[in-house]
Amino acid sequence: MEAAGDHRNERKSVNALCDFGRSVLYEVSGPFCPLATSSKEARSMKLYNEDNPAPNPRKVRVFLAEKGLTIPIEHGRLMRREHKAPEFMKKNSLGQVPVLELDDGTCVSESLAICRYLEELHPEPRLFGRDPLERAKTEMWIRRAEFRLWGPMGQVWINADRRTAAVNPNQFKDYGEHSRKVVFNAMRFFDRDLADGRPYLVDSYFSMADIVLLCGIDFARFVELAMPEDAPHLRAWHARVSARPGAAA
């Protein structure tokens, strides 16, 4: 009986992981229950979020921590599938988190859109750039992180990970394995570019680009795509960014 119970629980976990995996290329699916954070209070809002390893919700939490902002958070377990409930689908028709609900009921989804909105309301410290050049470089590195790392990483998780294979009958394993090589090539690209010794992606300025890449690198490790040993500059950058208090959010 105990073994059967363990098998059922494992099956539930795999189903939840696969549900998460199907949307990792976009914004991660997830439900909710109450929690609170940080120090500087934003106007009346609510953030629908999810715990680690969900990487897109984590982007917003790290952003909030770096800003010192407090927004009430509602989170829960993927396996409850509350994100597919009709009430939540009215907030985001894609049935995904994160979602920021404003005091008038307006909802904003997509992690970067949420962060940009909050940056407009609470500019300091600026995380999308303090001048035109920093803003351009921050955008450049965000796009490089998303296109070069996040996209293929999601394809490995969906198409080549044993944990999603059990409940995803349509895996394209060859494409997933090819994407694995693309991820490692991306990590080596970042490593080469950081070889000049600068502390962050945008020179000495910590930005939203660092947050996006950090969350991607950490989720890649969850997908068993750890940083290569021959990427010392990327590893040093990762250790530096991970040591910031906001990275634990």
CATH number at residue 101: 3.40.30.10
Q: Kindly state the tokens that stand for 175.
A: 């494409």
Which residues make Cβ contacts (< 8 Å) with residue 20, sequence separation at least 6? Answer: 28, 29, 30, 54, 78
52/56 Cα distance (integer angstroms): 9
DSSP per residue over 8-46, as a string? HHHHHHHHHHHHHHHTTTSS------EE---SEEPSS-E
Q: In this predicted structure, what is the pLDDT of residue 93?
A: 92
| Positions in the chain whose pLDDT score sits under 70 | 1-43, 76-79
User: Does 206 reside within a domain?
Assistant: yes
Kindly report whether the peptide bond that precedes residue 86 is cis, defined as omega within 30 degrees of 0. Answer: no
Same domain for 147 and 228, yes or no, is: yes
Q: In this predicted structure, what is the pLDDT of residue 165?
A: 87
Same domain for 181 and 235, yes or no, is: yes
Parent domain of 43: 2-121
Which residues make Cβ contacts (< 8 Å) with residue 61, sequence separation at least 6? Answer: 37, 49, 73, 249
User: Does 127 reside within a domain?
Assistant: no
140/172 Cα distance (integer angstroms): 30
Same domain for 95 and 202, yes or no, is: no
Residue 245 Rama label (left phi>0; alpha psi -120 to 50; beta): alpha
Domain C-terminal end among 121, 143, 166: 121
Q: In this predicted structure, what is the pLDDT of residue 78?
A: 56
47-66 burial code (b ≥16 CB/10 A, e <16): bbbbeebbbbbbbbbbbbbb
User: Does 167 reside within a domain?
Assistant: yes
Same domain for 98 and 139, yes or no, is: no
Same domain for 148 and 117, yes or no, is: no
Same domain for 208 and 187, yes or no, is: yes
Same domain for 106 and 202, yes or no, is: no
User: Does 126 reside within a domain?
Assistant: no
Q: In this predicted structure, what is the pLDDT of residue 80?
A: 72
Number of domains in the chain: 2
> By the 8 A CB rule, do 161 and 183 touch?
no
Same domain for 30 and 10, yes or no, is: yes
> By the 8 A CB rule, do 57 and 97 touch?
yes
150/90 Cα distance (integer angstroms): 27
